[in-house]
């Protein structure tokens, strides 16, 4: 075989066959899980990631760590994909899904050493995942956007693992998140649909995390174009225009012959008259504030200021859409088409200087279908971590509302699933039974890691949890990381969206299945760096992790 592959493949290619290939992939997958498992839970640690350019990121968000880590081995890239999928789909639970996948791979490696075929392991894992999803649906409890108390608890747990400050700060931000989701949630039939893109997150270093606020409207990072325009407007009538307040120069080569100063003056006066007419049209509609997606000529700015109309130019398309949703205005592409019906309204518009930069706040919108969370913090690193925490929490709360189910956290639901799967394994029997038991043990990695990160004895914690859950009556008992003991998570208010768990289970199982099916790694010479350097697998700065 080696001779044939040597003739077929170019010189310098690398090939790893059979069990060796599986062991390499399993080792790499488990190593990735080991890197980020210390970030799990409220007592998790942070990672400092330094890029080649010297940019620093300090975070304990699983998806961010894996993205910034720049892994090179193909198996490691598959693990990064799990985190990305979890992040896109739910927005939270990225560390959970990767730790689960890493442990599923490790347990599969143990079974391979016992001469159990990969397809048997895959079959057992699939049976276990299907059963776990069924049990999860039964364990889930109902939640709606009106259950603010429950949703705040879900937001707090999602934010708990992010080192963003005191409990008061987390409490305040959680309430902001739940309020913002309540504003943009749309009921479709019996279900709710939430587009988190309608919740704009604007950040600015300076002030304190407690200064973070929810704006019932939109914050536009631009300034009013002319000093003569009003900086504060109450009960503003808003026009959104996607057209230039400038005299368009023709694309074709046009030649204007001017033979006297009078002609030049007439030409300039005509230009001025056209701009004045544009402003008159805006004034006639009753608009008092203009958001323009394109440019505004200096002469037009002067006329707008004289008419008492404030204006902002070159507003981003995404901001225009959010303004339309927040103020009920329509974006108009032609100035001549603008009418009073197209205008939106806001209780207050003001230009404020924040950290030396002017910004326009559109506040007090009556029924805002788009809102802004304005994030503050002592330094850029703090603000960025608060933003990541808010994004995770938005994902968690919105997925809880969309699916309408939540479960208890602290590793309690994983222990319930593990206990249920161990009983199910006996029913199934055969060799698959061993794979189902391995799946059940992998689920225990979550409470075990939580206990480790809290400085508890992980073995004692696991034994105690197993005893609580052995008959399937353990309820919400999980790891109380703050007190370092086993407690009822329902009583403590440690709640998580059911979707975080279902997505983590499915993506971890699918990736494990994908990796276990590989029995041959062929890395071509001069590939994209995704193969293996001479001497074995590599491309990951891991120290002696595996």
DSSP letter assigned to residue 294: S
**Nearest to residue 216, comparing CAs of 359, 290, 322?**
322
- The active-site residue, picked from 59, 61, 85, 408, is 61
User: Is there a contact between 118 and 22 (Cβ–Cβ < 8 Å)?
Assistant: yes
DSSP letter assigned to residue 252: S
3-state helix, strand, coil in the chain (%, to 5): 50, 20, 30
Task: Tell me the two tokens of residue 68.
Answer: 């910034």
- The active-site residue, picked from 59, 95, 96, 408, is 95
Residue 392 is a catalytic residue: yes
Euclidean distance between CA atoms 365 and 238, whole angstroms: 11
User: Is there a contact between 281 and 231 (Cβ–Cβ < 8 Å)?
Assistant: no
Neighbours of 179 (CB within 10 A): 16
Parallel/antiparallel/unpaired status of strands 199-205 and 371-377 = parallel
CA 401-403-405 angle, to 5 degrees, is 80
User: Is there a contact between 168 and 174 (Cβ–Cβ < 8 Å)?
Assistant: no
218-243: burial string, b at 16+ Cβ within 10 Å, e else: bbbebebbbeebbeebeebbbbbbbb
- The active-site residue, picked from 392, 408, 502, 511, is 392
Residues in Cβ contact with 250 at an 8 Å cutoff, skipping those fewer than 6 apart: none
User: Is there a contact between 453 and 95 (Cβ–Cβ < 8 Å)?
Assistant: no
Euclidean distance between CA atoms 456 and 454, whole angstroms: 6
Backbone angles phi, psi at 65, to 5 degrees: -60, -50
Euclidean distance between CA atoms 513 and 119, whole angstroms: 9
Residue 250 is a catalytic residue: no
467-493: burial string, b at 16+ Cβ within 10 Å, e else: ebbeeeebbbbbbbbeeeebbbbbebe
Euclidean distance between CA atoms 527 and 95, whole angstroms: 30
Q: What is the DSSP string of 377-398?
A: ESSHHHHHHHHHHHHHHHHHHH
Euclidean distance between CA atoms 199 and 364, whole angstroms: 15
- The active-site residue, picked from 39, 64, 85, 94, is 94
User: Is there a contact between 415 and 466 (Cβ–Cβ < 8 Å)?
Assistant: yes
Catalytically active residues are 61, 94-95, 392
């Amino acid at each position: 075989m080696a001779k044939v592959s040597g003739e077929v493949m170019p010189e310098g290619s690398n090939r790893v066959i059979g069990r060796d290939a599986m062991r390499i992939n399993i080792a790499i997958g488990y190593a990735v899980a080991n890197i980020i498992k210390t970030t799990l839970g409220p007592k998790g640690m942070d990672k400092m990631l330094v890029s080649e350019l010297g940019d620093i990121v300090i975070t304990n968000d699983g998806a961010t760590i894996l993205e910034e880590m720049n892994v090179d081995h193909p198996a490691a890239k598959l693990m990064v994909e799990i985190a990305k999928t979890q992040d896109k789909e739910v927005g939270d639970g990225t560390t959970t899904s990767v730790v689960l996948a890493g442990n599923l791979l490790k347990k599969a490696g143990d079974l391979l050493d016992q001469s159990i075929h990969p397809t048997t392991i895959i079959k057992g894992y699939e049976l276990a995942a299907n059963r776990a999803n069924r049990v999860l649906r039964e364990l889930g409890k109902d939640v709606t956007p009106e259950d603010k108390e429950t949703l705040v608890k879900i937001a707090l747990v999602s934010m708990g693992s992010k080192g963003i400050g005191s409990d008061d700060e987390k409490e305040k931000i959680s309430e902001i998140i739940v309020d913002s989701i309540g504003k943009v949630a749309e009921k479709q039939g019996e279900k709710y649909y939430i587009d988190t893109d309608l919740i704009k997150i604007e950040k600015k270093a300076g002030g304190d995390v407690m200064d973070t606020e929810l704006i019932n409207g939109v914050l536009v990072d631009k300034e009013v174009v002319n000093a003569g325009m009003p900086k504060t407007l109450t009960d503003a009538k808003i026009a959104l225009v996607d057209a230039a307040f400038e005299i368009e120069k023709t694309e074709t080569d046009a030649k204007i012959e001017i033979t006297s100063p009078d002609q030049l003056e007439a030409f300039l006066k005509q230009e001025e008259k056209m701009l004045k007419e544009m402003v008159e049209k805006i004034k006639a509609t009753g608009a008092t504030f203009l958001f323009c997606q394109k440019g505004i000529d200096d002469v037009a700015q002067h006329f707008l200021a004289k008419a008492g109309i404030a204006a902002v130019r070159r507003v981003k398309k995404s901001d225009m859409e959010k303004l339309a949703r927040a103020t009920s205005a329509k974006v108009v592409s032609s100035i001549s088409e603008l009418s009073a019906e197209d205008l939106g309204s806001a209780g207050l518009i003001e230009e404020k200087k924040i950290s030396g930069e002017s910004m326009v706040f559109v506040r007090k919108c009556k029924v805002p279908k788009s809102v802004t969370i304005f994030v503050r913090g002592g330094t850029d690193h703090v603000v960025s971590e608060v933003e990541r925490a808010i994004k995770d929490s938005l994902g968690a709360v919105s997925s809880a509302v969309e699916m309408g189910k939540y479960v208890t956290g602290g590793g309690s639901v994983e222990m319930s699933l593990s206990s249920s799967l161990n009983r199910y394994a006996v029913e199934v029997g055969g060799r698959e039974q061993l794979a189902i038991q391995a799946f059940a043990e992998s689920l225990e990695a979550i409470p075990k890691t939580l206990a480790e990160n809290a400085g508890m004895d992980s073995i004692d914690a696991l034994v105690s949890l197993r005893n609580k859950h052995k008959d399937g009556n353990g309820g919400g008992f999980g790891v109380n990381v703050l007190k370092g003991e086993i407690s009822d998570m329902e009583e403590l208010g440690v709640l998580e969206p059911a979707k975080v768990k279902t997505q983590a289970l499915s993506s971890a199982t699918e990736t494990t299945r994908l990796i276990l099916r590989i029995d041959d790694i062929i890395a071509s010479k001069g590939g994209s760096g995704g193969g293996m350097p001479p001497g074995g697998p590599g491309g990951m700065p891991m120290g002696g992790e595996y």
